[in-house]
């Protein structure tokens, strides 16, 4: 599993998210319902599957056994190639 080493400037879990609070709630609900993780938009735009850093720290780190997966090398942290700040949803409404 790949996880971004740091949060992007428009993280879903920040006030500068590019989606509305309602959409954020649905995305998080769907991740929980589907037993999956949130793929950062910086990754999905490029067709990737890298987990959002804040989602990993705030949600996945609470899952029993995740530290074991880290120690076994099953979690790979990678740097973002693009850290451009996009206009947050709150400024577009």
**52-69 pLDDT, tens digit each:** 999 999 999 998 889 899
Res. 93: pLDDT tops 80: no
**15-48 pLDDT, tens digit each:** 999 999 999 999 999 999 999 999 999 999 889 9
**72-84 pLDDT, tens digit each:** 999 999 999 888 8
Res. 49: pLDDT tops 80: yes
| pLDDT score at 5 | 97
Phi, psi (rounded to 5 degrees) for 62: -85, -10
């Amino acid at each position: 599993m790949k996880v971004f080493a740091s949060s992007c400037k428009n993280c879903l879990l920040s006030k500068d998210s590019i989606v509305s609070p309602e959409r954020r709630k649905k995305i998080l609900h769907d991740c929980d319902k589907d037993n999956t993780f949130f793929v950062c938009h910086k990754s999905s735009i490029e067709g990737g599957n890298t987990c959002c850093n804040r989602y990993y720290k705030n949600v996945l780190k609470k899952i029993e056994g995740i530290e074991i997966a880290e120690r076994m090398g099953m979690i790979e942290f990678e740097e973002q190639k693009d850290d451009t700040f996009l206009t947050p949803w709150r400024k577009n409404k």
